[in-house]
Structures are given as structure tokens and as C-alpha cells.
Structure 1
Amino acid sequence: MIKKELEIPFKTPYNTPPFSKIENEDYLPTIKAAINLAKKEIEAITNNPETPTFENTIEALEFSGEQLDRISSIFFNLNSAETNETIQKIAQEVSPLLSEFSNDITLNKALFARIKAVYNTKDTLDLTVEQQMLLDKKHKSFSRNGANLSAEKKEKLRTIDKKLSQLKLKFGENVLAETNKFEMLISNEEDLAGLPNGAIEAAKQLADSKGKDGWLFTLDYPSYIPFVTYSDNRALREKIALAAGSKAFKGDNLDNQNIVLEIVKLRHDRANLLGYKTHAHFVLEERMAETPKNVQNFLKELLEKAKPAAEIEFKKLQEFANDLDGIDTLQKWDGAYYAEKLKQKLYNLDDELLKPYFKLENVIQGSFAIANKLFDLNFEEIDTIDKYHEDVLTYKVTNNTGDLISIFYADFFPRAGKRNGAWMTSYKPQYIKDGENSRPHVSIVCNFTKPTKSKPSLLTFNEVTTLFHEFGHALHGMLANTTYPSLSGTSVYWDFVELPSQIMENWCYEKEALELFARHYETNDMIPMDLVEKIKESATFLEGMQTLRQLSFGLLDMSWHGTDPTSITNVKTHEANVFKSTSLYPDVESNCMSTAFSHIFQGGYSSGYYSYKWAEVLDADAFEYFKENGIFNKMVADKFKNNILSKGGTENPMTLYKQFRGKEPKPEALLRRAGLISK
């Protein structure tokens, strides 16, 4: 039985999640009841005596399980943004149930027979492009996930999927626990030398809140990043950097080494079971890149261009550190510190100079103003809908004629129940049913510097671009305008999904855009144009090293998923071998990237981390189009909105891109922007 308040549509404004009406103990029984309801819907499709048609089979399947989708999206979003031990325990119980239910659908012989019957007659059906895509996607979701397996192999697949769902959760829980566990309390004021006032004040506030005397630093990004970037105390930089680099790599109960090995081996077994050479072969079949070989060639091509530049940059950074402080061997905990010092010397620019112009509230309004100029969107903050935490901001998004486009949630500050990083998610997809265009509920979650007693939340420039990045994902979700939820918004090929997010970062470097929001939080003065020029000049600072770092992550991902991992017995040894082609700093024995690489072991980026660079090619090429015509050019913005943002996954992404740009993208635009080739 589903609790009355949790039945959909929710009896709330705009059908928004009734967070305050949900108790932790509601989740398990509600999800179980919703699974049973969805099973009945599947049975009705399977047992339909009528001849299978697109409408009674494919569309019926597409719109089944809505109650389950809504409540499980609430649950798992909170497990990332506002979790606790109870929710984590429920997640360990719920995940196998959902995995089992998913298998029940894809391994349902009678249901697949109906889908196959429609699929085999697709050439005789008068389907739209979107309907053709939905039919292909449904057919593939069955054939790619075991529908053609024998009964024995189907059971094996169920076992693997159940185990994987639990391991991924455990991996994430361990990383979060490790992040929350580390605290560095500084009691000697001299040890704060070099740190910005804002970081010192935030550390004092955190220590006070925990009843401790001194200044408290943690592995949360707004605490960690300023410390390794500005602290003059090399020993303390080393201490906090070693803690960050050794997350879930200590051989204790929070260690992820065996979990990593188990996950990659189970993924490989699963791929083999389904007839694929590796997990990457399975994943990339449904990506723009298509094959592991294409990904390796793509990464290799960029590596050849970036490595010489990175080595020159690293040598200059090493020489600078040596000249300044006699550091003869640059270590990982020195990189951000001396990079910041060198940037200040070369450009007379540092984040502390910029932060007063990037008050969080102003940056939010700036992103809204840019969305209005480009896509005719209006954002109105509302307090009539439920929130899951008091920090969350809620907005009603409309177009210029007042139509509801989306409900938007924004959650900006770190807390114990929230994982690190930044992401966009959805509480409800957009779709069209029974003539009604049901609008989406979209959320972005970040971990920015909190306001202190004396200062509002002032963002680093990197945090500004992060906000615009996640807001780009949000626009992709908000502006969705498709019939089917599984093709809506960000439901696109994984190596295409970063285009809308990464292109939005470009506006942060443009004078016309910065004038809309970059004002001093005390004087309201516009950001000086010489600072804007310095931001642009410094945009390619150490770009070779940054590119090499991103490529190293992509290569590590492919090494775990693009080959047979059964012979790998030591996570650290494997990782060190992969990093040989990209490493600049000496290796640190106690550190390991893989054990906290949540993107690929907890999130959805396995065999897909390369997509950040892939999408950078797309976004650099796409933004060149804007630059050629004006960064607020309505013709280009409309083409981007109508061919990319609103179309979701209804067509092949390259088809959509060419409809927008008129041609395929070329890597040269990215290499030019990065300063790795001449203009």
C-alpha cells in the first residue's frame, strides 16, 4: 500500500516532491508497493490479447512505472545530497530490489516477443523520427541486457546485476565516510600563513560549530582547495593532500581496493555473458565514439598534442618553485600552490582578487540573465514548494509568454550528508501524454564556500564556471520538449551530454556576459575590464598540464573497462602502470586515484570519462559559431535551443549537431582555444 501523500500525481503545487511528508521508514514499503504496481502494468502489456502494436506495447511500456520512477528518484537524489546512516542502509536493501525488477522486465520472454513483433514490422509502420528512436532503444535495451540469453545465463546476469548495485553503493558510502572522517585542526595562528581571510574565517566557524578551539580544515572542496592552493605551510599542505589522495586506500573497513577489483571483474563477466569483448565494447556501442579503439585513438591524438606542452609547463613550474623557495622536486601538494603563485606573477591575477566580484547570489542572477537573453527563460524564486533542506533555493521557470517551463532546485553548500563535487539531477522528466506537455523538475547540487559572519558566499572563478557548467545541464533538462520521458532532456548519449554544460562555461570569459553579474559585493562596482582581460589571458594557463590530467583519468577508466581485468590483482600497481604516460609529479605510495574515482565506480561514467574531452571538442566548435555571430546572437541561440537542448535523445547526436552547426565538429577548435596549436 502506498502512503496517500506519496501517490502520484502528488497533491502539491506543480506536482513537486512532498519532502516534508516523507519519513525515512516510508521509502522501503513505498518502493516495494510501487514495484508491485509497475509489475501489474507490465503484466497488462504482456497479457494483452491484441496484436502487438507500437501503441499497446512500446508506448505502454514507456509510460509504465511512473510511481516507481518518481519515488526512487527522490530517494536516490537524497542519498547523494542529504543522506544519513538510515538512508544508506535502506539503499543497500532497495538497490537489489530495483536491479531485480529491471531484470524482470528485460528478461521477460513474452514481453520481448511483443517488442520484437513490433520491431520486425517497423518498416511498415508510419512512425515519427522520435518513435523510431524509441522503438530502437526499447528493442536494444532488451537485446543488450540479456533477453536472448538462455534461462541459466539469465539467472547469472541477475546475480551479477544485484551484486554490482550493492558494490557501487558501498563504494560511494566509503568515499563519503572517508571525506567526513578527516579533520585537520590548526591551533597555532602562524600555521595559517598565506591563507585568504575568507578561508580562515570559514575554518574558525567550522571549528566553533564543533566545539573545537582553533581552525578546522576538511576534505570538502571549499575547505580543501583554498588550503592546498594558498597555505605557505608545506608540511600541512602535504598532510591534507595525502589524506585526500588516500581516500578508501588504507586497508581498513572503508577500503575500496577489493570493491574496485570486484566491480571491474563483474562488469567484464557481464559484458562477456552478453556477447561483448569487454565492458567498454558494451557501453560504447551506445555512444558517439562507438568503439574502444576510437576512444583510445581520440585520447592518444590529444595526448600527442598536450604532452609536449605539459612537460614544458611543468619544467617552468619546477624552475619557478626552485627559484622562489628552493624546492628541487615538485610534489603533488606543491602543484596548486606554485601554480597560483606563478599565475599571480604572470598575470597579476589571483582568485582572492576576483572573489569579491563573484558573490553567489549575483552569479546565480547572472546565469539567469544569460539564459533569458539566449533562450527567453525567466526565473522567479518561490517559497510555496517543499524543500529537502533549508539551504535549497526553489524557482519557477517560465518563458516570455508566461508558460511554465520547469521547476528548478539549487543546493549550493557542503554538509555532512552530501557527497563532494557538483552535479545536475532530475526529480521528474518532461514528456507529452494525453495532449499535455508535463514539465520537468530539475536540480543542481554543488559544494561552494558558505557565507561567514562577515562575508557572503564569494566564489572562486573555478566555482563560477562550475555553477555555469551545472546550469548548462539544467537548461538541457528544463528546455526538453519531447514526447517520451526516456528520450527527454539529458537522456542522450553519454559523450553528448556534456555539450550543453561545457558550452555554458564559455560565457564566464566574455566581457558582455560578465558585465551582467560581476559586481563587487561591497561597492557594487563593475568588474574592471583589465581583470576581465586577465581572466581571458589566463584561461590557457597550464592548459597542457590540465589536459594531461583529464586524459590520465580517461586512460585509467579505459584501462579498467577496455581490457580483460581478470589478471589485475593490485589496484595501485595497475594504476601506476597506466599513469606512466601522463605522470609529471613523483608517485606517492600511499595515494590511489581508483579507490575514490566515484565517477566510474559509483556514477555512470564507466568507459565514459573520455566524454569530458570529447564534449570539449563539441563545445569549442559550437562556441566558435556563437563568437562568429555574437555571443547573444538569437539566430544561433535558437538553433542551439531547437536542435540540441529541446531534442534530448530523439535523434542521433551527430545528426542534431550538424543541424545546429551545419557541419561535423573538428578538434582544432579545442586545440586553438587551449593554446596547443596556433590560431
Structure 2
Amino acid sequence: MAEHLSSNRLRWDLSPSDLKARAEKLKETTRAVYDAVGGVSKENVTYNNIIQALADNDCEYGVMRNMLDFPQHVSPNKELREASTDADKVLSEFDVEMSMRQDVFDNLVAFQGKTDVSSLEPEAKRYLEKKIKLGRRNGLHLPKDVQDKVKALKKRASDISIDYNKNVNDENTILEFTEAELGGLPDDFIKRLEKTADGKCKVTLKYPDYFPLMRKAHNPDTRRRMETAFNSRCKTENTAILEELVKIRAQLAKLLGYSTHAEYILEMRMAKTPETVSSFLSGLAEKLRPLQREELEGFLKYKEEDCKKYGYEFDNKINLWDMRYFMNMSEEKRYSVDHDKLKEYFPLEKVIKGSLDIYQLEAG
């Protein structure tokens, strides 16, 4: 496996055409593995031709798929982002198709039936059980007409989820503020902003602009405008997507024998049931409420002082757009944590190099 991976080193210099070609190649090689696994007769299933074959492919596939998916989230090149999104759609549809392979599922069940599972290594035992569990959660134990409905719904959900992310990634709203309206933000933040013809600062809704502004801008209206715009990103197109996703998830849950989407999702997680989550959250909220009241009272005192200092009207409440600002102020005043000072110890170039060194794949 290590040797196989080393011959397919991760690449971040791919062109749009490279992404398309590699996506098709990845489908081709993966389909060949699934065809081979699915083509084994039930009498001849073994650890090597079923479990080992699928596990090796999953490892290789996951690494290569991430390489093709990543550019849509980070590339400044729109053509490359779109090519990555297209590759993601192609592979997401392929993922659904492979997850619904009845022949592969049947051979996994056959292997489980003829093997002393307790004799397997713990990792292999878990892998086998999870693969079969996922097959059942895809409806592979149900009649063919139900499977077809599940498959169609999963493909549609995958497609529109990718569209949702693409809309957010391509969002390019610009807010314009005077330097006075950005009072409280450090000079290096102001200097790096593009300026309009009349000298106003152009601020995007991307994280490098959003978080500093919400933490440091003195002007409540500046924070309100940013918070409102940030939480309204792509609201027209993405609201329609979310509404459709809710319906699809409810349909899938019903088809697969679950009362709700939450019940379906939580089955594979530590909590297991919606009731456990609800009980945990309500109990946690009750225990944290005294601390919440104490912190909000502290924030209100900070806000009253801040409004007097900068000449703003004090409304005697902590609004959504006030939270990050006064949380940051609390860190500075109560715990002597100054994020601007911390930045001085982490120059961008060194942080980038260090991060890449940590995550870099070594040759096998």
C-alpha cells in the first residue's frame, strides 16, 4: 500500500484538465477493484480478495479524492475551483454508485458468515462490521425498488450539497466602510484592504476580514452590518437548497426505516439516539445558565463603558453582533490574552511553512 501511494504523490499544481482526467482515472481504477470484489463467488471469498482489496482501495481512493476536491475550497483561480467542483460532483455520484453495489455487499456478508470474526485483527473486524452496517444503511438489504429510490435521493442530495458549498466559496459581497467606521482594528488590517475611489475600505465576508472586524471594531453599527451580511450569504439560492435537503433527508430516513434524519445520523455516533442528545443538551444548558448570566452581566458592563468611551448609545443588551467583540474584550481584560500581540510571535511565512512541513507526505 505504501508503495502504491508513493507512486501517486499528492499534487497541488494540477490544471483544470488534470483534475478532470484524474477524476476519471480514479473512477476507472476503483470500479475495477469493486468489480473484482463483486465478481468473487461466495464460495471463494477470502480475507485477501474481499477485505484487504477493499481496504487498500479505500485508503488510496480517499487520498486521491481529497487532492481533487481541495482546490474548490482554497484556490484563488475561479476556473480551477469550478473544475474541482465538477470533479467533486462526478466523484460524489460515483461514491453513491459504489456504495450501492449489491454484489460487493453480498460478498462482505458471505465472508462474515463463513469466517470466525473473533479471529480477525481488531481493525479488520471493525472494518468488516462497519462496511456491512453502511450497506444496510444504504438499503442493500431492502427490495430493489426501494434501493433505486435511495440511490436517486442520495445522488440528488450530494449534488445540491456541493452546489451549496460552491455558492459560499464563490460569494463575493463587498462592504464599504470609512476608516473611522473601522476604528479599533489594527493598522495592518486597514492597510491591506483595497480602497474605493473615494477612499473607503473594501471589506469582504471571508474569514480573514470577518473575524478581525467582529472582534475589534468599536462601532456597533459596523459590527451589525458585517454580522447581518455574513449570516445572509447566498440566502436566496442556499435557502432553496436547504429546504430541498430537509425533504430529501426525511424521505431517506423513512425509506430506510428510521423515524427521523437525526435518528439515522446518530445511530453511527456515540450518542446513538436523539433522546440522548436532547437530554444531554438540556442538562448542559441548565448547568451552564448561571455562568451564562454572569458572563452576560460582565459583557453589559463592558458595553456600557465602551459606549460611553466612544459616544455610542447604550441599549442595555448584548446583540448577536456584540458577542465576539465583548468575548474578545473579556479575554484581554480578564485573562490578558491579546491576539494582536500573539500574532507577533507567529509570522505568516513561518506559520505557513511549518504547517506544510507537518502535513507534507514523505516518499514511501
1:210-269 alpha-carbon deviations (Å, 9 max, x no partner): 9884433222223222222222333222222221122122x3xxx311111111221221
The alpha-carbon deviation at position 83 of structure 1 amounts to 6.0
Aligned to 2:216: 230
Q: 1:71 to 1:355 in 2, by over 3 A?
A: closer
Q: 1:155 to 1:313 in 2, by over 3 A?
A: same
1:29 to 16, 21, 29: 21
Aligned to 1:604: none
Structure 1 unmatched ranges of 5 or more: 1-7, 365-380, 382-391, 398-407, 410-426, 429-437, 440-679
Distance, in Å, in 1 between the alignment partners of 2:101 and 2:215 is: 54
Spell out the pairing of 1:100-115 with structure 2 (5 A cutoff).
100-115=93-108
Residue 156 of structure 1 aligns to a residue whose secondary structure is helix
Distance, in Å, in 2 between the alignment partners of 1:222 and 1:51 is: 56
Aligned to 1:280: 262
Distance, in Å, in 1 between the alignment partners of 2:103 and 2:179 is: 71
Distance, in Å, in 2 between the alignment partners of 1:269 and 1:93 is: 26
Distance, in Å, in 2 between the alignment partners of 1:189 and 1:92 is: 37
The alpha-carbon deviation at position 157 of structure 1 amounts to 1.2
In the alignment, structure 1 residue 190 sits paired with structure 2 residue 150 = no
Aligned to 2:34: 42
The alpha-carbon deviation at position 114 of structure 1 amounts to 1.6
Q: 1:160 to 1:196 in 2, by over 3 A?
A: same
Residue 148 of structure 1 aligns to a residue whose secondary structure is coil
8 A Cα contact 2:16 2:84, kept in partner: no
8 A Cα contact 2:69 2:87, kept in partner: no
Spell out the pairing of 1:116-515 with structure 2 (5 A cutoff).
116-123=109-116, 126-178=119-171, 181-186=172-177, 188-203=178-193, 206-207=194-195, 213-249=199-235, 251=236, 255-325=237-307, 326-330=313-317, 331-346=319-334, 350-360=338-348, 394-395=356-357, 408-409=359-360
Q: 1:258 to 1:9 in 2, by over 3 A?
A: same
Residue 289 of structure 1 aligns to a residue whose secondary structure is coil
Distance, in Å, in 1 between the alignment partners of 2:209 and 2:234 is: 20
Corresponding letter in the other structure for 2:176: L
Residue 294 of structure 1 aligns to a residue whose secondary structure is helix
Distance, in Å, in 2 between the alignment partners of 1:268 and 1:25 is: 38
8 A Cα contact 2:73 2:81, kept in partner: no
The alpha-carbon deviation at position 185 of structure 1 amounts to 3.2
TM-score normalized with structure 2 length: 0.84
The alpha-carbon deviation at position 343 of structure 1 amounts to 4.8
8 A Cα contact 1:100 1:158, kept in partner: no
Residue 210 of structure 2 aligns to a residue whose secondary structure is helix
Corresponding letter in the other structure for 1:334: D
Residue 24 of structure 2 aligns to a residue whose secondary structure is helix
Distance, in Å, in 2 between the alignment partners of 1:80 and 1:354 is: 27
Residue 176 of structure 2 aligns to a residue whose secondary structure is strand
Distance, in Å, in 2 between the alignment partners of 1:313 and 1:359 is: 33
TM-score normalized with structure 1 length: 0.47
The alpha-carbon deviation at position 362 of structure 1 amounts to 6.6
In the alignment, structure 1 residue 80 sits paired with structure 2 residue 70 = no
Aligned to 2:310: none
Residue 216 of structure 1 aligns to a residue whose secondary structure is strand
Q: 1:23 to 1:318 in 2, by over 3 A?
A: same
The alpha-carbon deviation at position 162 of structure 1 amounts to 1.1
Structure 2 unmatched ranges of 5 or more: 308-312
1:435-474 alpha-carbon deviations (Å, 9 max, x no partner): xxx96xxxxxxxxxxxxxxxxxxxxxxxxxxxxxxxxxxx
Distance, in Å, in 2 between the alignment partners of 1:102 and 1:349 is: 45
What count of residue pairs does the alignment treat as equivalent? Answer: 354
Corresponding letter in the other structure for 2:248: L
